[in-house]
Amino acid sequence: MPFLEAKQLSIGYDKPLVTGIDFSCDRGELIALVGRNGEGKTTLFKSLAGLLPVHAGKVILADKPLDQWSIRERARQLALVFTERHSLGGFDVRSYVALGRHPYRKAFSKLDQHDNQIIDQSIEATGLTHLQDRSLDRLSDGERQRAALARALAQETPIIMLDEPTAFLDYPGKIEVLNYLKKLSKEHQKLIIFSTHELPLVASCVDALLYISNGQAERISGDEKEIERVLEERFGGLRVSK
């Protein structure tokens, strides 16, 4: 049984932008959401996460319509990572990662031993132990992106969705993040969906594409060569292979 499904989904703001969306995906998969600017990538991203009401159809999470999950229940199933360059003064790395434990805590309750253990593991997994006391405003872009991933890990959700996780990173940083996402999806059996413009980099790491074009969306699966072929074909002969 698929862990996340879209059934005849129609999405948009004032009027539908993408219609008739049907696909399914499961835990352990790394999936890239691709398409040209303005085609609806961010709209689909927000719709799948429940941040934007759909015009028609359903998003099914763990065999249950997404709109039937409470906000707290949803936060235990799906973690979101947005790439934004805004000031996060007042937070050190550890305090920021600790925000991922919010769905499991009662109001005003303190972090318990289990919470702190999960926070420690998330910080260690993203290579930030030596920076856990540093202010987020003093981190590099790559380090801040890893801190956002650590917060998502601390949330202990089976799904992680990331909006442009390699934005603002240099080339080695982009490779590092994508390789880490691939490792995370396989070793922890998480479903990871990320939107991206980094077409030359995705074929070697993803299991499938969610491709949006001309008001339609489709899932495209295959090995690295097949993903490369599809990307080159769909994006006007762009050379994406090494």
The rounded percent of the chain whose pLDDT value lies above 70 is 94
Instruction: Please tell me the predicted confidence (pLDDT) of residue 145.
Output: 85
What are the boundaries of each domain within the chain? 1-77+157-242, 89-155
N-to-C CA span, the chain: 35
Return the residue matching tokens 């691709």: 34
In this structure, of 29-38, 65-74, 169-178, the range with the lowest mean pLDDT score is 169-178
47-61 per-position pLDDT tens digit: 999 999 999 999 999
Q: Reduced to 3 states, what is the DSSP secondary structure of residue 156?
A: coil
Model pLDDT, residue 88: 61
Q: Which CATH superfamily is domain 1-77+157-242 in?
A: P-loop containing nucleotide triphosphate hydrolases (3.40.50.300)
User: CA–CA separation, 239 vs 242, rounded Å?
Assistant: 8
Place of tokens 């429940």: 50
**Hey, is 48 helix, strand or coil?**
helix
Q: How confident is the model at residue 238 (pLDDT cuts 50, 70, 90)?
A: low
CB 74 within 8 A of CB 48: no
pTM: predicted TM-score of the whole model, two decimal places: 0.89
CA–CA distance, 184 with 126 (Å, rounded to integer)? 10
Q: Which residue has the tokens 């594409």?
A: 209
The pLDDT of residue 242 is above 70: no
